[in-house]
Chains A and B, each alone.
Chain A
Amino acid sequence: MIAVDALSKHFKLYESPADRLKEIIFRRSFHQSKLALDGISFKVEDGQTLGIIGQNGAGKSTLLKILNGVLLPDCGTINVDGRVAGLLELGTGFNLELSGLNNIYMNGLLLGMDREEIDAKLDSILDFSELRAVIPHPLKTYSSGMVMRLAFSIAMHSEPECFLIDEALSVGDAHFQQKCIRRIKQHKKNGGAIIFVSHDMNAIKILCDKVILLDQGKVIVSGSPEDAVNHYNYLISTLNDDGEAVVRDEGLAHSFGGFSARINKVAVVGKISGTDSISCGEAAEIQVLMEANTVIENINVGILIRNNFGQDIYGTAIWKHKERVDVDSGESWLFSFTMNMNLGVGKYTVSVALSSGDTHLDGCLEWRDHAVSFQILASSGDEFVGMCMLEPLIHARKIEI
């Protein structure tokens, strides 16, 4: 378990490092302060994965470095049961001139293993990295993917109680990535905690049990991955908005925007069923009814279908279909998107966006998550596994050789 309480950290910005010495000698301040973390508190239970998201400069890296112990906080406490190891320090101390084996020992010791432990795990590390054949050769003869594989394998075998994972997961080929993810899940199952920092919102939604959103050194949302990610999207949209201020609709939890146009009603109707319970493969219509408060030239209306894990399944917008729509003040418009719901069985939600720019990031008029939900039922015909139905043509013919 990791418990962090009221953690704060500020950096002193000096023009040159020597100014720090001047401060000691002259007892006068030569720096500007920058608050990097401001009263951060959270808890990660055993077997839990905590996601940390936020824009660049929100304090994610500083937080990881403090958890890792390479930076010291100004105040606040961190209680960790056992060893914390990061996948941030992948390949620390690697020397390209030396053999892979030599580097395993050095890196392993830096990660807190001792020699006997590495001896015992060596086989397993070599197997995991699939580098047994090249291990006596110097590291400089490896491809960069191989170096990362080696680094990852060593880190994985250091078996800490808590893993800190940065964007590092994006290393290697798909085969190795899946292997790593399996290994991390195993670690979690064994009661290990994970702290995961990423800009990949899908990965955050899939892997995390709980997410905190950092902004300017503060935790502004702490809760389900869904909530935190939606709030993150809102943050990003405020950042890029030109002109109109983006606000949150206090009445609707999942809505934000400039609100010079509003989404009035959203519905999903199956062509056959006539309801929001739709058979797989059935055509359905997603209807968006909106009302404008001002003149909006070339409005864009977008929909985004997400599954019950919050993963984006399919999204599109009318601009992508070369439809230009100019809306006058006071007018109401109904936009409809009709499509075959070739989706796997399950529950889905639809998010809707109105904007005067290309994406919800610029000129956001309204973005509404969970505007409506629908479910896909198994159709009597094709049976398949997975998230989408690709309608293959299947042939079988005998080949004479």
Chain B
Amino acid sequence: MNLTIELTKRDFSERFSGSSLGMSWLLLAPMVNIFIYIVVFSELIGARIPGVESTLGYGVYLVSGLLPWVAFANTVSRISTIYVDKRHIISKIKLDLRSFPLFVVLAETVVFVFACAIFLVFLLYFDFELSRQLVWFPVIYALQQLFAFSLGFVLAIFHVFLRDLKEFVTVLLQLWFWLTPIVYTFDILPDYATEYFRFNPAFLFIKSYHNVFVYDSAPSGGSLLMLFALGLLLLGLGLLLHLKLERDIRDFL
């Protein structure tokens, strides 16, 4: 745990080493992004979503899906290459391969928390009505990151043997992003497509965020359970692969 925290700190100090503003970029970057989404999209362009009165509706819809997605995508893509990226450490010091990637989850969570804080400030500033359902927010996020960690862990093991996986994950995440209702709403999809979307795991958590932020309703228990089950399943698969392949992973690095 000590090491995870230190690796997380290290992650940030590496990211901002040499920059004068340093950690304040964690606030500045989301500030600009959220400004664009909320002010430009909602206020200036006037994008609206059906069923929501507030003029901020679309901006909130967009940001409440986008911020978690960015955390999710970064977590998955960074964990998926972690063993190869950190081979200079892994091949020299005895580390538990299973817990080593945890620092990525932690680091991305810190970034996410900062972004959410900014988001909250914007919402309060514009007097957006916050739903009581927001208590679900941390739960959804936790389940999302469990899923992200497990998926990344499985990919990371394969990545040791199949280096193309890095490119594949990049493409996959981009495709996945557009196949998930983040910038558009689920309702605009043609009927024949909606069936397939139910198989999209990212939809499970994105939908839940939309529920608690925009639609003032509780996330569906089924979705959360499904997400939890998927996360556990992948984690189990990852641990099984690790058990079978740890020797080979270490040999290959």
Chain A positions within 8 Å of B, measured between CB atoms, are: 11-12, 17-18, 20-21, 65, 68-72, 74, 86, 88-89, 92-93, 95, 97-98, 102, 105-106, 109-111, 114-115, 138
Contact = CB atoms under 8 A, between A and B. Distances in A.
Given A18-B162, A95-B14, A109 B6 contact: yes
Contact of A21 (B90, B161, B251): B161
Contact of B252 (A17, A88, A111, A115): A17
Given A72-B250, A93-B10, A109-B2, 20 more contacts: A12-B248, A12-B251, A17-B252, A18-B161, A20-B248, A21-B162, A70-B92, A70-B93, A70-B250, A71-B247, A88-B92, A89-B93, A93-B93, A95-B10, A95-B14, A97-B14, A98-B17, A102-B13, A110-B95, A115-B2
Contacts of A105: 6
Interface in B88-123: 88-95
A74 B251 CA distance: 11
B89 A92 contact: yes
Name which of B6, B161, B251 has the most chain A CB atoms within 10 A of its CB.
B251
A109 B2 CA distance: 8
Given A20-B161, A21-B162, A97-B18, A70 B251 contact: no
B17 A97 contact: yes
Contacts of B43: none
Contacts of A92: 88-89, 92-93
B198 interface: no
Contact of A17 (B95, B160, B250): B160
A182 B57 CA distance: 71
24 contacts: A11-B251, A12-B251, A20-B252, A21-B161, A68-B92, A70-B93, A70-B250, A71-B251, A72-B247, A72-B250, A88-B92, A89-B92, A93-B10, A93-B89, A93-B93, A95-B10, A95-B14, A98-B17, A105-B6, A109-B3, A110-B3, A110-B93, A114-B2, A115-B2
Interface in B214-253: 245-248, 250-252
Contacts of A89: 92-93
B246 A72 contact: yes
8 closest A-B pairs by beta carbon, nearest first, are A69-B94, A89-B92, A97-B17, A17-B161, A72-B247, A92-B92, A20-B161, A109-B6
Contacts of A114: 2
B13 A71 contact: no
B158 interface: yes
Contact of A70 (B10, B14, B91): B91
Contacts of A115: 2, 6
B163 interface: yes
Interface of B: 2-3, 6, 10, 13-14, 17-18, 88-95, 158, 160-163, 245-248, 250-252
Contacts of B91: 65, 70
Contacts of A21: 158, 161-162
Nearest to B164: A18
A93 B14 CA distance: 12
Given A20-B161, A109-B3, A114-B2, A71 B252 contact: no
B252 A70 contact: no
A101 to B, nearest CB: 11
A97 B11 CA distance: 12
B202 to A, nearest CB: 26
A107 to B, nearest CB: 10
Nearest to A115: B2
Nearest to A71: B250
Nearest to A103: B10
A207 B6 CA distance: 37
B80 to A, nearest CB: 15
Contacts of B18: 97
A98 B175 CA distance: 37
A114 B248 CA distance: 30
B106 to A, nearest CB: 15
Contacts of B2: 109, 114-115
A80 to B, nearest CB: 11
Contacts of B94: 68-70
A28 to B, nearest CB: 16
A98 B14 contact: yes
Given A12-B251, A72-B246, A97-B14, A110 B89 contact: yes
Contacts of A74: 247
Nearest to A65: B91
B99 to A, nearest CB: 14
Contacts of B17: 95, 97-98, 138
A97 B22 CA distance: 14
B210 to A, nearest CB: 38
Contacts of B245: 20
A21 B241 CA distance: 11
Nearest to A110: B93
A78 to B, nearest CB: 12
Contacts of B248: 12, 20
Nearest to A18: B162
A111 B92 CA distance: 10
A22 to B, nearest CB: 9
A114 B5 CA distance: 11
Contacts of B14: 95, 97-98
B212 to A, nearest CB: 38
Contacts of A109: 2-3, 6
A171 to B, nearest CB: 16
Contacts of A17: 160-163, 252
